């Protein structure tokens, strides 16, 4: 049953068929604050690990040992495993030859990379020069640190035909760079 009445220009429609159970379903509107709907939060901790600084120290300089040149150019290969191999017109004289030896220190179990000279390095005897090239290392140019590591560096000595006799030394050392990966 419905009833209609007007008061101050507004018409009201009232349903008389409502039961008391219908009123139980009416939910009052409650004013809410202006917070975004569904806002949540969480927390997190912060950590940092400062690793041991890398270090590299030269232990032994590279020494190709003694050799005899001829009219034919040649090379002396000093492997990182300390083998000396002559090619072309170079004759080796028995004696001591040594790879350059370095110790590398750092954080154990971290990986590292070694950068060897990318270009030829000059050794001289006055005005006479010989180039050293093709640097190689043992262990190879990358690996895992075990706190302290020994690195051997070998290279190739490029001897010209009729190379002048004498003691050849480098005016400046060659660089070996070590980085964490």
Domain ranges of the chain: 55-180
- State residue 25's pLDDT score: 47
Query: What are the angstrom distances between the C-alpha of 79 and each of 45, 60, 138?
Result: 51, 15, 9
Strand 142-144 to 177-180 pairing: unpaired
pLDDT tens across the length of the chain (181 residues) = 555 555 555 554 555 455 545 544 444 445 555 666 788 999 999 999 998 899 999 999 999 999 999 999 999 999 999 999 999 999 999 999 999 999 999 888 888 899 999 999 999 999 999 999 999 999 987 877 877 889 999 999 999 999 999 999 998 999 999 999 8
DSSP label of 175: P
Helices (H), 9-95: 20-24
- State residue 14's pLDDT score: 52
DSSP label of 151: E
CA 167 to chain centre: 38
- State residue 32's pLDDT score: 55
Contacts of 175 (CB under 8 A, 6+ apart): 117
Count of beta carbons in the 10 Å neighbourhood of residue 39: 6
**Residue 34 tokens, joined:** 């202006």
> Is residue 153 within 8 Å of residue 176, measured between CB atoms?
yes
**Residue 17 tokens, joined:** 């068929």
149 three-state secondary structure: strand
Its pTM stands at 0.73
User: 44 - beta bridge partners?
Assistant: none
């Amino acid at each position: 049953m419905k009833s209609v009445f007007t008061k101050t220009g507004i018409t009201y429609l009232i349903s008389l068929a409502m039961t008391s159970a219908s009123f139980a379903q009416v939910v009052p509107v409650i004013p809410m604050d202006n917070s975004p709907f569904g806002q949540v939060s969480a927390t997190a901790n912060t950590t940092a690990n400062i690793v041991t600084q890398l270090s590299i120290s030269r232990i032994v300089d590279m020494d190709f040992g003694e050799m005899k040149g001829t009219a034919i150019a040649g090379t002396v290969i000093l492997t990182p495993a300390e083998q000396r191999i002559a090619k072309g017109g170079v004759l080796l004289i028995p004696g001591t030859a040594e790879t350059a030896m370095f110790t590398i220190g750092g954080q154990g179990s971290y990986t590292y990379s070694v950068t060897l000279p990318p270009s030829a390095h000059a050794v001289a005897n006055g005005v006479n020069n010989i180039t050293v090239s093709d640097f190689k290392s043992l262990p190879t140019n990358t690996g895992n640190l075990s706190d302290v590591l020994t690195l051997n560096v070998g290279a190739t000595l490029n001897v010209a035909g009729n190379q002048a006799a004498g003691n050849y030394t480098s005016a400046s050392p060659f660089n070996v760079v070590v980085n964490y990966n």
